[in-house]
Amino acid sequence: MKLFRYGEAGAERPGIVDDQGKLRDLSSVVTDIDAWALSPDGLATIAAADTASLPEIAGPVRYGVPVAHVPNLVCIGLNYTDHAEETNAPIPQEPILFNKHTAALCGANDPVWFPEDSTQLDWEVELAFVIGTPCWNVTEAEALNHVAGYTVLNDVSERHYQLHREGQWTKGKSHPGFAPCGPWIVTADEVGDPQELDLWLDLNGQRVQTGTTSRMIFTCAFLLSYLSRYMALQPGDIVTTGTPPGVGLGKVPPNFMKPGDVMRLGITRLGEQEQKVVPLTEDVVQAWRAAHAARRVGV
């Protein structure tokens, strides 16, 4: 199944893509694509619905973050050998962990806001997986049983914040709009082996990233088992798994984004995204505050 959330920011509704590729409203089946909807019971309830009888969604659609109220956004750094090499970083012997603040999450085609003092804004297409059942101290063999589905995530990064402002990577990763996610979650049963997916990203129409998850240093199953030793992952958590080579930091000379640039990216079977880089203005900040004012938790 392909599950998504659509509508204005702060007022998204649940949806599903039917067998003919039509977008259908799921509001009569589940209240949202949240932790319960992604649980085994929730997914079974959605799977049992007669999607052909659900209302078709007409007109252009804004895709929201495909998971409501995300508890945690956990990230893996330098998980492709050739990406580590292009950034002159040593090959990790264990997964490198960091977090993006959940407020960085935005819809798949929402704009990426350019901070006023940004000098090194970069792109990173990544495979992400979404937790469906509580996951703590699990083996590698059982790890993927805890995954509800997979999605596309652009780990937008401000490299100067990340690498030259001291402390951990989080400050370069967590600006609002720095985690476009979606357009949908594809359930694990439809994806199959997550280590057989192709990734790509175009900047202004030019292919800059091409990769395959078969080149990951640490597989999704290993990553989830490893993470579960150090934290108890919750339903609705998103884990993003690293990027293949081709980022701006790895170019010679380095190449970073500016307002007006457009990213288009995608992963086999998981869909595509497109974002335009736009200046961050006070109007944008005020609109963001208003959109989030009524929310209880997360995005």
Question: Is residue 121 one of the residues assigned to a domain?
Answer: yes
User: Is the previous residue joined to 40 through a cis bond, with omega within 30 degrees of 0?
Assistant: no
* Structural domain for 111, as ranges: 68-280
Taking Cα atoms as reference points, which of 282, 263, 217, 222 lies closest to residue 243? 217
What is the full per-residue pLDDT of the chain (299 aa) written as tens digits? 999 999 998 899 999 999 999 999 999 999 999 999 999 999 999 999 999 999 999 989 999 999 999 999 999 999 998 777 877 778 889 999 999 999 999 999 999 999 989 999 999 999 999 999 999 999 999 999 999 999 999 999 999 999 888 878 899 999 999 999 999 999 999 999 999 999 999 999 999 999 999 999 999 999 999 999 999 999 999 999 999 999 999 999 999 999 999 999 999 999 999 999 999 999 989 988 887 776 554 45
In a domain, 21, yes or no: no
**Rg of the Cα atoms in the chain:** 18
Residue 231 lies in a domain: yes
Q: How many domains does the chain have?
A: 1
Domain membership flag for residue 161: yes
Residue 10 neighbours by CB under 8 Å, 6+ apart: 291, 292, 294, 295
CATH number of the domain within which 132 lies: 3.90.850.10
Residue 62 lies in a domain: no
CA separation for the pair 206, 285 (Å, rounded): 31
